[in-house]
Structure 1
Amino acid sequence: MRILVVNVNTTVSMTDAIVASARSVASSGTEIIGLTPSFGPDSCEGNFDSYLAAVGVMDAVARYQGTYDAVVQAGFGEHGREGLQELLDVPVVDITEAAGHVASLLGHSYSVVTTLDRTVPLIEDRLKLAGLDARCASVRSSGLSVLELEEDPEAAVKAITTQAQRAVQEDRAEVIVLGCGGMAGLDHAVRAATGVPVVDGVTAAIKLAEALIGLGLSTSKIRTYATPRTKRLSGWPLGAVHEVS
């Protein structure tokens, strides 16, 4: 099987890190293909960035020429998953929802540790929309921007671990979720510091995507995620592929 893993921002080094994390848990017969949007923000930290990124992600997937069996959207709390589900006939798994579902299987409550405080409401909204908010004890900010995660990995681990420990001690979280695709690969360090299960959305999404493919299941197209109606998209940056259905 082949899974497309789409970074929501245009930073290629972050795509590479996300792909490496995805491949670390993928089954031997699973091929992971990383995609980076050709336009959009270099990091997503707010609604404006997120809506731009959603278009860039849909464009990147639409322009991919090969075949694939599922798509993973690697952006935590970002918009666009619903659009992909309308466009595609294969399973689409968002790392935010994947992480929340997996965390809910591991403990009574979970906390998310993310980047800047301004992204907290976006994540809270996405979890609520997915029906995963009832088990979420808190969404905590590490105070780091997305790009700072790469610039100073040691400081990133320290900041994330500090908030994860506070979530366990103060918010009574029993599971920690890493709330950014750029945090892929940090789960072992946070687990060692907190003593609780730590869920990385990228790896969780890969395993869920593999499961859906194996079960022969994909998005229902009966109503909410029905294929978009045919229409001309004037001045739209998306490829002509979207003009026919």
Structure 2
Amino acid sequence: MMDSEEGLISVRYDGQVARLVIDRPGKRNAISLSMWLSVPVILREIRAQRSIQLLVVEGRGNEAFSAGADIEELLSASECRQAAENYVDAIRSAEAALGDFDLPTLACIRGFCVGGGLELAMACDLRVATSHSRFAAPPARLGVTYSTSSTRRLASLVGESRAKELLFSAREIDAFEACRIGLINQAYMTADFEERSAAYIERILRNSQRSIHNAKLIFDAIRQGAQFDPPEVRELRVRDFSEADFIEGVDAFHARRPANFTWRRG
């Protein structure tokens, strides 16, 4: 366990949901090097829990999802090339591990979501936020640079022109603008956030997890340049029709009842 000044990435389990918590409220959940390094390890631990079907990423408290990378540690990275390489690699490994995670991932954002915090949020599949949340991609204010993968994610979400504008201006935007431009999926009034985000999670969990798992595989194939079904994707789609989830989905549709899907990842 690392000390409270360094912060930590903590995990708690809630039924089928694992919650990865950026836990450093005294520094607006700024992410230290040790926290970046712990993310891939913790994600492997979560992946080993067979009952978990969805991952939520959130910050401790209501002030910030994360204010980004720890500025003091960024300064220490200027002292030698190896320190800079270690820091860049730790951030890349953390956001890559989250971006490649095979379960559906949801960033639940309260308050500030800035810099490295925004990188982690963008690495999730989906993002919901409170109405008082604020967003910024501020590397140009510090003289540093987002990774290619984070820049690609930003451009994929909001379009290249808006991504350039957010990076070049480093301006802060509110949750409603973030929702309008596609940076987040939903902005809920702060007073209703817990109830609305819980309902959002429940809606995802009610659907076929096999379909969601396969959709994530197809999005991966698209990112790798696929325009038509690769053989493995075609095989998944053909097998759909012999799977229990399809039979249950059709029966529920005809009976006008909620489906009880049973597929679980292996």
For normalisation by structure 1, the TM-score amounts to: 0.34
Which has a greater percent of helix?
2
**Considering only CA atoms, is the larger Rg found in Structure 1 or Structure 2?**
2
Structure 2 length as normaliser, TM-score?
Answer: 0.32
